[in-house]
Amino acid sequence: MKNVHILIASLILLNLYSCKKQPKVITFSSLEVLNGDILLCGSGDFGTVDFATSCTTESSEMFNLGLSLLHSFEYTEAEKAFAKVLEVDPNCAIAFWGIAMCNFHSLWMQAGNAHLIKGNRLIEATTELKTTDRERAYINAIGAFYKDWQTVPHKQRIYLFEEGMRSVYETYPEDKEAAIFYALALRAIANPSDKTFKNQLKSGKILKSIFPSAPNHPGIAHYLIHNYDYPELAEKALPTAREYAKIAPASAHAQHMPSHIFTRLGLWEEAIASNLKSTEAALCYAEALGATAHWDEELHGMDYLVYAYLQLGANDKAAEQYDYLKTFYSVFPVNFKCAYAIAAIPGRIALENKDWEGAAQLELPEIAIPWEQFPWERSLYYFTKGYGAIRLGLIEEAEQELKAIKTAHRDLQKAENNYLADQVAIEIANLEAWMLFRKGSIDSAIQRMQEAKDMENNTQKHPVTPGELIPAAELLADLYMENGNIELAHSAYLDNLNQHPQRFNGLYGAAKTASMLNDLETAKMYFQQLLDLGQAYNSQRPELLEAKTFLEP
């Protein structure tokens, strides 16, 4: 196990306070605030922040640690750090803000209402406490998200948070943290269908303007990566991606985040290195906690690892991750990241290898997950089985899986989670298109598959996923190939590679169709790229053997 730094409360308080000045002891039970030892792996370094507060000077170091942890989405340990600030200074209102921010996961919608109840109580706890005008503005911004959560929709409350942070940013233009949190808020309200990336670019511009004066700030690097996590923008974040892990080496999430950009650009070796470090740090953290379950950050990194390994044809390495996953019994916290990885990892392995029988007969690892709470994530399982069945000609079995996916779609619509409902709608369109094809309705199948591709192109991927189980553009290309439309298939494979560079099956499809069109130079180019991918792991995938044969003099 890596070195684990346990910051024991009594030792911290001894450093923060002189022995003549004993801190007040407060109870957090009514607010359900996490407290206790702060567990940090490795160096314990999470970057540098400097947030001025009106609280005691003795608490400033711990407050800044909490803020650094928060900026890398290390929510649990960040909350414990802010709790320690309140142990030293129970009247530090901005520490309540910090805890409220730890329960606000800005870039995805959390399940349940517990975080909303807690956040609202935290904000109410600051009502009678003295603050500066600036601190109260920060508190009011996040307070707008929690207020009236029972009646105001989530999307509207996210916009209220953005409005609040915009006001802080405009009122205090020299405040770096105001700018950084406003930039995060802009990213949080970005429309997934906006292909101009208006909010992401505006947010990125703010962050890049600050970066030179705060090069070791974890939030700037982290949020820049989230802003540019798109094929069209990824190049903008590559230098930052290569720095973020150095800024916050103790954070499993910071080790992982650069792989978002590496994945967008097809830099598979860098993605693998990033997630090996991330999963190691995540395992260290779980061991430090004494947890018998596996932390969600470990599963998140594993999904990205499997995706990258598969693009290099490294089936053995991908299988190692899956075999390891099958040893898990429980995970913590039980959330969408865990559910997604558990469903996606086996699905990817079967579908990327065109193992239709394995896909059709897929069984999920026996890990304790309440799947009814995760309609989108469980739909991945149904999609894998359904698509595998279609490719085997088992239409009745596929129709049963499609029915299950449509149930998941209705669940998401009922919950008014339109973005995830759209993700599932793409899966439905993919399966319906291939069903039509298998039933002989060729023109209708192509039209439906085009619709699926257009839907996917107009709906940005969720931050949790390295990529779709199979991109719709690649499925369209496969359909053209099956139907003998080789020119259209070649064009579709190239279109897919523009969005998903260096995808193994995309390169193979482009090479194969070029050879069938007698465009030998293009075929050689793509077959060589494919061989280059598979060299490091001595892959034995049949596509690589075909490439070698084609390229032999």
Cβ-contact 543, 508 below 8 angstroms: yes
The number of C-alpha atoms within 13 Å of 1 and in the hemisphere containing its C-beta is 14
The pLDDT score that the predictor gives to residue 34 is 87
According to DSSP, the β-strands at 38-41 and 294-295 are: unpaired
The pLDDT score that the predictor gives to residue 106 is 86
Cβ-contact 264, 230 below 8 angstroms: yes
User: Residue 449 above 70 pLDDT?
Assistant: yes
Unique residue bearing structure tokens 């739909």: 379
The domain limits of the chain are 1-156, 344-470, 475-553
Which residues, 6+ apart, have CB-to-CB distance to 170 below 8 Å? none
User: Crossing angle for the helix pair 133-146 and 93-102, nearest 10 degrees?
Assistant: 30
The pLDDT score that the predictor gives to residue 192 is 84
Cβ-contact 385, 362 below 8 angstroms: yes
Which residues, 6+ apart, have CB-to-CB distance to 176 below 8 Å? 50, 210, 213, 214, 217
Q: 43: pLDDT confidence band, cut at 50, 70 and 90?
A: low
Cβ-contact 82, 102 below 8 angstroms: yes
CA distance readout (Å), 522 to 192, 494, 512, 513: 35, 11, 10, 10
User: Residue 199 above 70 pLDDT?
Assistant: yes
The pLDDT score that the predictor gives to residue 29 is 62
Q: Over the stretch 344-358, which tens digit does the pLDDT of each residue have?
A: 999 999 999 999 999
Q: Over the stretch 493-552, which tens digit does the pLDDT of each residue have?
A: 999 999 999 999 999 999 999 999 999 999 999 999 999 998 889 898 999 999 999 999
Helix ranges (DSSP H) in 190-267: 198-210, 218-227, 234-247, 252-256, 258-264
CATH of 475-553, one of 3.40.50.720, 3.40.47.10, 3.90.1150.10, 1.25.40.10: 1.25.40.10
Q: Over the stretch 158-187, which tens digit does the pLDDT of each residue have?
A: 999 999 999 999 999 999 999 999 999 999
The pLDDT score that the predictor gives to residue 16 is 38
Cβ-contact 259, 270 below 8 angstroms: yes
Mean pLDDT in residue range 59-76: 95
The pLDDT score that the predictor gives to residue 461 is 83
Instruction: Let me know if 540 is exposed, middle or buried by CB neighbors in 10 A (0-12, 13-18, 19+).
Output: exposed
Q: Which residue has the higher pLDDT, 20 or 75?
A: 75
Tokens of 342: 């558990």
Cβ-contact 297, 336 below 8 angstroms: no
The average confidence (pLDDT) of the chain is 92
Q: How far apart are CA 409 and CA 141, in angstroms?
A: 33
197: left (phi over 0), alpha (psi -120 to 50) or beta: left
Cβ-contact 67, 94 below 8 angstroms: no
Domain 1-156 matches domain 475-553 at the CATH topology level: yes
Tokens of 359: 């896909």
DSSP symbols for 115-153: HHHHHHHHHHTTTTS---HHHHHHHHHHHHHHTTTTTS-
Q: 61: pLDDT confidence band, cut at 50, 70 and 90?
A: very high
Q: Which residue has the higher pLDDT, 288 or 405?
A: 405
User: Residue 10 above 70 pLDDT?
Assistant: no
Q: How far apart are CA 145 and CA 181, in angstroms?
A: 14
Q: How far apart are CA 372 and CA 415, in angstroms?
A: 13
Determine what percent of the chain falls in helix, strand and coil, rounding each to the nearest 5. Answer: 65, 0, 30
User: Residue 7 above 50 pLDDT?
Assistant: no
What percentage of residues in the chain have a pLDDT greater than 70? 94
Q: How far apart are CA 226 and CA 204, in angstroms?
A: 9
User: Residue 433 above 60 pLDDT?
Assistant: yes
The pLDDT score that the predictor gives to residue 28 is 59
The pLDDT score that the predictor gives to residue 13 is 39
**Highest CATH level, class, for 1-156:** mainly alpha
The pLDDT score that the predictor gives to residue 18 is 34
How many residues make up the chain in this entry? 553
Q: 31: pLDDT confidence band, cut at 50, 70 and 90?
A: confident
> 10 Å Cβ neighbour count for 111?
16
Q: How far apart are CA 445 and CA 438, in angstroms?
A: 9
Q: How far apart are CA 247 and CA 239, in angstroms?
A: 13
Q: Is the dihedral of CA 400, 403, 409, 414 positive or negative?
A: negative
User: Residue 273 above 90 pLDDT?
Assistant: yes
